[in-house]
């Protein structure tokens, strides 16, 4: 009966699925067969992002048309501002070409070279050949009056600056145009020492700036994060009376000493626990920083920062182990003291002494006596 019920339910689900597929519009079925199109359409962020991009494109086209009209009227400065607005909203080859044309007329040769180079890189294969030839001619002419620098760095993500002005982050995939003269090139990245070079760049030439950033040595942790390894030992108890001797009741000095040792063990255990929690928090912060910068596989390849994370985790584990054995030792001394208070001083008893020994790498309970 159970098997027939399961078969009936499976057949019911199959009918529902086939009905849903049959009821879906053909376009939706075609997109589903294509793969990821339905997921993109269903994304709650896709529609707003697409709407914003479309609005920016419309505003760029309006600014571009306004710039062409102002240029036709001879208002060069106003046309330049309109083209700049259009460029800030959308980077296209035609906006770059018109913006570069106004920059050339305003004497802005470095900026014109940048925009003409962009225009030539993105010029469509179906574009007007005459327009392409004109842009190429303009670029060759202005290229003779400016210099350029190709930046090569050994790490990605470093911020590059020319004479103190940021120009982008590595890798810079294209040459950067500059005025002829002396240019101080520098790259900076967190966790690395800065790298820089000063170049003399003549007009019409391309120079290469090779920047090698070296990782900084891992700093030694502050003294507060690396306390001396705690060590707690019970004082040697007073010699026990010989076996068979009449004690006449528990001695107060033994009870006081046992209570003091147990209390000291608890305090030491609390301190070690607090230090271990602090180490765990430091390890979590380092792990989150590594994941943010390198993703879940940030420590797939060994690095100084990953080695530091491992050291922190190992230190936390040692402190936890020391805290555990400290509490164990304190409990043992407390139990022994309680037993002595209850039964001490009666019948003859063996002489026994217990002392916890705790270090940052472990702990133990040392029991000495004669039976």
The CATH number assigned to the domain holding 212 equals 2.60.40.1120
pLDDT over 60 (residue 213)? yes
Q: Measure the CA angle with vertex 77, ends 71 and 78; round to 5°.
A: 65
Q: Which two tokens stand for residue 80?
A: 């330049």
Does one domain contain both 192 and 130?
no
Tell me, yes or no, whether 343 and 362 share the same domain: yes
Mean pLDDT throughout 98-126?
Answer: 94
Instruction: Indicate whether 87 and 207 sit together in one domain.
Output: no
Q: What is the CATH number of the domain that holds 71?
A: 1.25.40.10
Domain assignment of residue 139, yes or no? yes
Give pLDDT, residue 284.
80
For the whole prediction, is pTM greater than 0.85? Answer: no
Q: Do 152 and 169 reside in the same domain of the chain? A: yes
Q: Which domain holds residue 180?
A: 146-216
Residue 129 and residue 156 in one domain: no
pLDDT confidence of 32, banded at 50, 70, 90?
very low
In a domain, 161, yes or no: yes
Tell which wins on pLDDT, 223 or 155.
Answer: 155
pLDDT tens digits for range 137-190: 999 999 999 999 999 999 999 999 999 999 999 999 999 999 999 999 999 999
- Indicate whether 10 pLDDT > 60: no
Confidence of residue 240 (pLDDT cuts 50, 70, 90): low
Flag whether pLDDT at 8 surpasses 50: no
pLDDT digits (tens, 9 = 90+) for 152-163: 999 999 999 999
Q: When comparing pLDDT for 31 and 322, which is higher?
A: 322
28 lies in some domain: no
How far apart, in Å, are the Cα atoms of 182 and each of 72, 152, 226, 327?
39, 18, 48, 68
Q: What is the mean pLDDT of residues 49-62?
A: 90
Q: What value does the mean pLDDT take over residues 48-66? A: 90
Round the average pLDDT of the chain to a whole number and report it.
77
Could you say which of 181, 216, 251 is where a domain stops? 216
Same domain, 194 and 254: no
Decide if 34 is inside a domain.
Answer: no
Distance CA 137, CA 141 (A): 6
How many domains are contained in the chain? 3
Mark whether 139 and 153 lie in a shared domain.
Answer: no
What would you report as the CA-atom Rg of the chain, rounded to the nearest whole angstrom?
Answer: 39
> Which pairing describes strands 206-211 and 147-153: parallel, antiparallel, or unpaired?
parallel
pLDDT of 226 strictly over 70: no
Are residues 153 and 134 both part of a single domain? no
Are residues 353 and 307 part of one domain? yes
Domain end marker among 90, 122, 145: 145
Q: What is the pLDDT of residue 276?
A: 76
Residues 175 and 98 in one domain: no
Asked if the structure places residue 347 within a domain, the reply is yes
Can you tell me which residue has the tokens 């009905």?
A: 19
Report CA-CA distances (Å) from 19 to 10, 14, 34, 185: 14, 9, 20, 66
pLDDT of residue 355: 60
Evaluate whether residue 32 is within a structural domain: no
203 and 231 belong to one structural domain: no
* Domain C-terminal end among 194, 216, 238: 216
**Is there a domain that residue 45 lies in?**
no
Q: Which of 99, 58, 107, 97 is nearest to 82 (CA)?
A: 99
Question: What does the alpha-carbon distance between residue 120 and residue 96 come to, in Å, rounded to a whole number?
Answer: 9
Beta bridge partners of 58: none
Tell me what pLDDT residue 250 has. Answer: 72
Q: Are residues 84 and 165 in the same domain?
A: no
The Cα 116–Cα 142 span in angstroms is: 9
Q: Is residue 48 part of a domain?
A: no
189: CB partners within 8 A, 6+ apart: 155, 157, 158, 159, 213
CA nearest 266: which of 321, 319, 334?
334
The residue ranking higher by pLDDT, 238 or 2, is 238
């Amino acid at each position: 009966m159970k098997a027939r019920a399961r078969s009936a339910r499976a057949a019911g689900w199959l009918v529902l699925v086939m009905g849903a597929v049959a009821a879906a519009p053909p376009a939706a079925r075609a997109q589903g067969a294509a793969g990821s199109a339905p997921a993109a359409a269903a994304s709650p962020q896709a529609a707003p992002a697409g709407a914003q991009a479309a609005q920016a494109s419309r505003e760029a086209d309006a600014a571009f048309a306004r710039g062409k009209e102002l240029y036709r009227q001879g208002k060069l400065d106003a046309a330049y501002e309109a083209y700049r607005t259009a460029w800030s909203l959308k980077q296209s080859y035609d906006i770059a070409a018109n913006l570069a044309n106004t920059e050339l007329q305003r004497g802005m040769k470095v900026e014109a070279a940048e925009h003409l180079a962009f225009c030539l890189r993105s010029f469509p294969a179906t574009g007007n050949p005459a327009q392409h030839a004109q842009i190429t001619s303009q670029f060759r002419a202005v290229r003779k009056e400016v210099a350029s620098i190709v930046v090569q760095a050994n790490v990605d993500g470093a911020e590059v600056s020319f004479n103190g002005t940021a120009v982008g982050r590595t890798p810079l995939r294209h040459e950067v145009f500059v005025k002829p003269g002396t240019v101080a090139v520098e790259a900076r990245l967190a966790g690395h020492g800065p790298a820089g070079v000063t170049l003399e760049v003549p007009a019409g030439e391309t120079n290469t700036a090779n920047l090698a950033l070296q990782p900084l040595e891992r700093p030694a942790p502050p003294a507060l994060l690396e306390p001396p390894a705690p060590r707690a030992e019970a004082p040697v108890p007073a010699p026990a009376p010989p076996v068979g001797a009449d004690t006449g009741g528990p001695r107060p000095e033994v009870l006081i000493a046992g209570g003091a040792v147990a209390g000291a063990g608890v305090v030491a255990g609390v301190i070690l626990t607090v230090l271990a929690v602090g180490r765990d928090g430091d390890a979590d912060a380092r792990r989150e920083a590594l994941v943010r910068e390198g993703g879940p596989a940030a420590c797939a390849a060994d690095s100084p920062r990953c080695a530091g994370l491992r050291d922190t985790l190992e230190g936390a584990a040692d402190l936890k182990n020391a805290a555990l054995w400290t509490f164990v030792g304190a409990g043992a001394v407390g139990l022994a003291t309680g037993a002595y208070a209850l039964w001490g001083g009666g019948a003859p008893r063996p002489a026994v002494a217990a002392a916890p020994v705790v270090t940052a790498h472990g702990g133990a309970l040392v029991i000495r006596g004669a039976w």
